[in-house]
Amino acid sequence: MPLDFLCPGEWGEITDVTGDPGWVCRLAEMGLRVGGRLRMVRPGCPCLLEVEGCRLCLRGDELSRILVRPVEQASEGR
């Protein structure tokens, strides 16, 4: 499901990231890569995410290009 479908406080694991290869690489540098986990802090535009202990904002089309599956919580050590 697209990232913007996560509810506030919900965790997700990234299953796919699509788009321009340079953009996909930039997201990976920020921790948004397949297999990575994140938490939706605040949905909307822009949305606020927690990734690897950092907070990031993403907007509009960027959100629909990141696919996630809901997970219970972030696993330890990730």
CATH architecture classification, 3-71: Roll (2.30)
**Tokens 């397949």 identify what position?**
34
HSE-CB of 74 using CA atoms within 13 angstroms: 13
Residue 35: the pLDDT is: 96
Give, for all 78 residues of the chain, the pLDDT tens digit: 999 999 999 999 999 999 999 999 999 999 999 999 999 999 998 999 999 999 999 988 888 899 999 998 755 544
Residue 78: the pLDDT is: 45
| CA 59 vs CA 26, 44, 46, 78: distances in Å | 15, 8, 4, 25
The model's pTM is 0.86
